[in-house]
Chain A
Amino acid sequence: MAELTYRDAVTRGIAQEMERDTRVVFLGEDVAKAGGVFKTTVGLYERFGPLRVRDTPISEQAILGAAMGAAMTGLRPIAEIMFADFLAVCFDYVANQMSKLRYMSNGQLSCPLVIRTGNGGGVRFGAQHSQSIENWTMMIPGIKVVAPSSPVDVIGLMAAAVRDPDPVIFHEHKALYATKGEVPDGAIVDTIGTAKILRPGRDCTIIALALMVPRALKAAEALANEHGIDAEVVDLRSLVPLDTQTILNSVAKTGRLFTVEENPRLCGWGAEIASIVADEAFWDLDGPIVRITTPHIPLPAADHLEDLALPSAARIADKVQRVLNG
């Protein structure tokens, strides 16, 4: 057992899989000799060599296209798109190509690859380098969507993503890179499509993802200490496949549901969960489902404004207690 940063967990997760399987190759902008702009891939170039860890030009279409062509013909590529916002310039590959390949070819072709990307805000980068775009990727049939919140989950879900036979979008959260967590020694392999109950509780269910997970946990502590509310916190960990059973079971127990989403409000993942719960667990609910989200705005760069935009632990706690006590 050792304490590791989220950032170093990314490196360790990739290294673990590259060590295991020579078909795993890695490409992206500044990822090899420079070790990545977020320093998430330091040492991989030196360890696995220039044939397996490759710097690319600033050509996001070429990066995802090449990863796809390599995956279709036998490799297991990991491609980095530096900022998740940049997926917009190569979204064809996500929306039209890799996600539809297996279906359109009637199963003749498959695309086992991982797209790693720096998602989310809270780091004062402004509107084009801060978005939480996991909901863009969630709505496309044929891909899987993962967003870990802790170092141990980064490693285990990275391993699962690399070994997965389908394309996986792996959302790393930029504001979590410096956070630390305990990580066991040895290889770690997790399962995509499994949510985790991080804090059991009786009074309400708070579902969160990525950066919103530590904030939801902090809010739950405040709710317990200051309001006597015992909140259950669920870390979704992946949006596709969605662990609906864990959500429904939790709602059956608590009777109240809150989602905490970093994405702007419209069509955020919480809306889909609210819809599922309303359809399938309506009679378990003791009150309305409440979504706590970033407002439907671009993100500002100014720190005090960005802090107002993203759901904070204080805002989560305040909203939950007002709804439950109101």
Chain B
Amino acid sequence: MASAAGATTGSDRLRNDDIGLDRRLELFRLQVEIRDCEKRAFDLFLQNMIKGTSHLSIGQEAVAAGFGVAMREGDKSFCTYRGHAHTLARGASMEGMLGELMLRDIGLMRGKGGSMHLTSVEHGVFGSYAIVGAHLPIACGSAWRAQYLGDKDVAVCFFGDGTTNIGAFHEALNFAAVWKLPVIFVCENNLYMEYTPISDVTAVKHPAADRAAAYGLERIVIDGNDADVVYRTALDALQKAREGGGPSLIECLTYRHSGHSRGDPAKYRPPGELEEWLKRDPILIYRQRLQEFDVEQETIDSIETESKRKVEAATEACKASPPAPVELLTKDVYADGGWAWRN
């Protein structure tokens, strides 16, 4: 692991860096683009251009970016309704993501799924699931297939702290451990299960990690706002899974800057909590990290400028896209493409 300590220069640090400049810029770019996209989603809500509900990851970008960069082609992501960030982190386009939130034809699922079900198989995003906990066993199934066929891909399953109290979480962890499956369970602990502090409703301090021992797994708690820490932890777990070492459970400590969903002003937070976490904003942390590595300000600025340009272009493309054609209403209920339940 590279150390940033001592009086060495940024160039010295880069020379000894296990992550490398290209990946560092990628980690930064992803976090910035996710942030800008999520902020745009919020703005589009206020303009009534996005209907229904939406769950933003503002403040939690480092988890998605760290895994997004560490995962390789063929690895599969299983996300929750708070899945915009993870979908973008695997390479899905902004117009595909925003277009789906806007329920336009340009969307990843042409408006049939909506914000909570983002799916992009070509990018390894095997669905976003809106019933809490349901996708942990599903990720186990993908991992079982990999184990059975000898495929080397890993299933990575992202979920919130609230998920750790539902039965499917415990069924999946035991199942994955007993079958030694190549699956990684990533808990984004943002301190709140919807509107309630997770500590009010959980018997242990760390809702995921403190349950690991029950399934014979290592207790892992990391700083989920530092993309480097996430990236390195992800790499270790991915390698372990690929080598047949079985599942990992990783608890990433993070914080969402906004409420649970569109309709939540997050008034349940104690005064000053948000401000403390804003000091640990993952993008702030990473911008400083790049500066420590002597990355030129111009490079940093250009990533941020380019992100805003891309979000602008994606928004315009989405606005120009028609709504999904009506024939999609009854399409793809069954494999024949239709919906016939009788002759």
B316 within 8 A of A: no
**Least CB separation from A72: chain B residue:** B126
A74 and B328 within 8 A (CB): no
For B110, the chain A residues whose CB sits under 8 A away are: 106
A102 and B144 within 8 A (CB): no
B171 within 8 A of A: yes
For A96, the chain B residues whose CB sits under 8 A away are: 131, 134
- The stretch from A55-63, A147-155, A256-264, A286-294 touching chain B is A55-63
For B117, the chain A residues whose CB sits under 8 A away are: 104-105
> How many residues from B make CB contacts under 8 Å with A?
52
Query: A200-238 interface mask toward B, CB cutoff 8 Å, 1 = contact, 0 = none?
Result: 000000000000000000000000000000000000000
CA A92 – CA B134 in complex, angstroms?
A: 8
CA A105 – CA B328 in complex, angstroms?
A: 12
B175 and A70 within 8 A (CB): no
- The stretch from B135-143, B204-212, B272-280 touching chain A is B135-143
A193 and B119 within 8 A (CB): no
Partner of B119, one of A63, A66, A108, A245: A108
A35 within 8 A of B: no
B168 and A61 within 8 A (CB): yes
For B93, the chain A residues whose CB sits under 8 A away are: none
Query: B138-170 interface mask toward A, CB cutoff 8 Å, 1 = contact, 0 = none?
Result: 111111111011000001000000000001100
Partner of B145, one of A69, A97, A141: A69
A109 and B121 within 8 A (CB): yes
**Least CB separation from A59: chain B residue:** B171
Interface residues of B (CB under 8 A from A): 76, 78, 108-110, 112-113, 117, 119-121, 126-127, 129, 131, 133-146, 148-149, 155, 167-168, 171-172, 174-175, 178-179, 328, 331-335, 337, 339-343
For A73, the chain B residues whose CB sits under 8 A away are: 76, 126, 141-142, 145-146
State how many angstroms separate the Cβ of A88 from the closest Cβ of chain B: 13
Partner of A74, one of B120, B145, B167: B145
Given contacts A62-B171, A69-B143, contact A193 B343 (CB under 8 A): yes
Partner of A242, one of B136, B333, B341: B341
B134 and A70 within 8 A (CB): no
If A59-B175, A61-B133 are given as contacts, then 18 extra A-B residue pairs at C-beta distance below 8 Å, sorted by A number, are: A57-B178, A59-B137, A59-B174, A61-B137, A61-B172, A62-B168, A65-B138, A66-B140, A69-B138, A69-B141, A69-B142, A92-B134, A97-B129, A104-B112, A105-B112, A106-B112, A107-B331, A243-B342
CA A71 – CA B334 in complex, angstroms?
A: 15
B332 and A65 within 8 A (CB): no
A103 within 8 A of B: yes
For A108, the chain B residues whose CB sits under 8 A away are: 109, 119-121
Give residues 11-61 of A contacting B (CB, 8 Å): 25, 51-52, 54, 56-57, 59, 61
CA A141 – CA B76 in complex, angstroms?
A: 27
A101 within 8 A of B: yes
B138 and A68 within 8 A (CB): yes
A141 and B148 within 8 A (CB): no
**Least CB separation from A74: chain B residue:** B145
Q: List 24 A–B pairs whose Cβ atoms lie within 8 Å, in order of A's numbering.
A: A54-B179, A57-B174, A59-B137, A62-B171, A65-B137, A66-B141, A66-B144, A67-B141, A69-B137, A69-B143, A71-B141, A72-B142, A73-B126, A75-B148, A75-B149, A77-B141, A97-B129, A102-B332, A104-B119, A105-B113, A106-B108, A106-B113, A241-B340, A243-B343
For A62, the chain B residues whose CB sits under 8 A away are: 137, 140, 168, 171-172, 174-175
Given contacts A64-B137, A245-B343, contact A103 B121 (CB under 8 A): no
Pairs A-B, 5 closest by C-beta atoms: A69-B141, A65-B137, A165-B335, A59-B171, A66-B141
CA A269 – CA B230 in complex, angstroms?
A: 52
Given contacts A61-B167, A106-B112, A110-B335, contact A72 B138 (CB under 8 A): yes
**Least CB separation from B324: chain A residue:** A106
CA A59 – CA B145 in complex, angstroms?
A: 19
Say what secondary structure dominates the interface of chain A. Answer: mixed
A109 and B127 within 8 A (CB): yes
For B148, the chain A residues whose CB sits under 8 A away are: 25, 51-52, 70, 75
B172 and A65 within 8 A (CB): yes
CA A112 – CA B334 in complex, angstroms?
A: 11
A141 and B335 within 8 A (CB): no
Given contacts A101-B127, A108-B119, contact A65 B140 (CB under 8 A): yes
A321 within 8 A of B: no
A311 within 8 A of B: no
Given contacts A108-B109, A241-B340, A245-B343, contact A70 B145 (CB under 8 A): yes
State how many angstroms separate the Cβ of B146 from the closest Cβ of chain A: 8
Name the residue among B121, B127, B339 with the largest chain A CB count within 10 angstroms.
Answer: B127
Partner of A244, one of B145, B167, B333, B342: B342
Give residues 94-132 of A contacting B (CB, 8 Å): 96-97, 101-110, 112
State how many angstroms separate the Cβ of B189 from the closest Cβ of chain A: 22
For A64, the chain B residues whose CB sits under 8 A away are: 137
